[in-house]
Amino acid sequence: MTTKELIYSALRAIGVISNAEAPSADMVIDAQAALNMLIEAFSAERLIPNVWVSENQTLIISQGVYTMALNQSPAADFNSLRPIRIESAYVTVTGVDHPVLMMSRDRYNEISDKTVTGIPSCLYYAPEYPKGKIYLYPEPAAAYVLHMDSWKPMADLTVLTDTISMPGEYLRALKWNLASELGSEFGRPPDALIEKKAEESIRILKRLHSYPVKEVKHELATRQTYDINNA
């Protein structure tokens, strides 16, 4: 299903266009914006699949904090889509990989001298908006390469002909929840059937993503939590 097909389907569901009609350009712009906001909300609640990304970034000597976002002004230190969370990382030094352990904000705040330099061994990630922040300790003593595995949200759907590659249960949830959003935006009276389908589709996704969380022991005797649904 394309972005256009999903938007048209939602608009037909609320009765603002018929099967033989095409919406106005303004309608499509408003619906597309609502769809992207809906996807962001679903992603934040982990109701739709996020994207697993492995990437490398070159560090700056004696810089311990880095921003990360795509196409922001002013530019982020790492011009890459802001992660929802970073799962693992390591630093490469002269061909040797050194593991970087994930730490909590509290643990990072307990470090009294954050200006110590060396090979980074700990990372705290704050998923701030619009730029995520990566805190490294120690600060890099050289321009090492940081390798990260992270979960990132779907990019915004900016082209109407883009294909939304998701299983049917996700497309159904997007359609009926988009219809629910657009109904109020376009002044349509509340529709009990649309609301029921929107709520049912959300419940289905929550059941799909309700697997228990397991812990995986890190090789250096630390523990990290992983969601087996995303493993």
pTM value? 0.67
Map out the domains of the chain as residue ranges: 3-48+154-208, 51-152
In this structure, how many other beta carbons lie within 10 angstroms of the beta carbon of residue 94? 6
CA 52 to chain centre: 10
Q: Which two tokens stand for residue 38?
A: 């809906």
Rounded to an integer, what distance in angstroms lies between the CA atom of residue 27 and that of residue 22? 10
**What pLDDT sits at residue 218?**
33
Please tell me the predicted confidence (pLDDT) of residue 44: 79
Closest Cα partner for 112 from 86, 145, 138, 132?
A: 138
Using the 8-state DSSP alphabet, how is residue 189 labeled?
P
- Looking from the CA of 131 toward its CB, the CA atoms found within 13 Å total 16
pLDDT on residue 231: 40
* CA 76/CA 34 separation, integer angstroms: 26
pLDDT at residue number 211 = 55
Write out the DSSP string of the chain: -BHHHHHHHHHHHTTSS-TT----HHHHHHHHHHHHHHHHHHHHTT-S--EEEEEEEE--TT--EEEEESS-SSPPSEESPPPSEEEEEEEEETTEEEEEEE--HHHHHT-S-TT-EES--EEEEE--SSSEEEEEESEESS-PEEEEEEEEPPPP---TT-B----HHHHHHHHHHHHHHHHHHTTPPP-HHHHHHHHHHHHHHHHHT-PPEEEEE-TTS-EEEEETTT-
SS3 134: strand
pLDDT along the chain (231 residues), means of 10: 96 95 95 94 84 94 97 95 94 96 96 97 96 98 97 87 89 96 91 96 89 39 38 40
Tens of pLDDT along 134-171?
Answer: 999 999 999 999 999 998 888 888 899 988 888 899 99
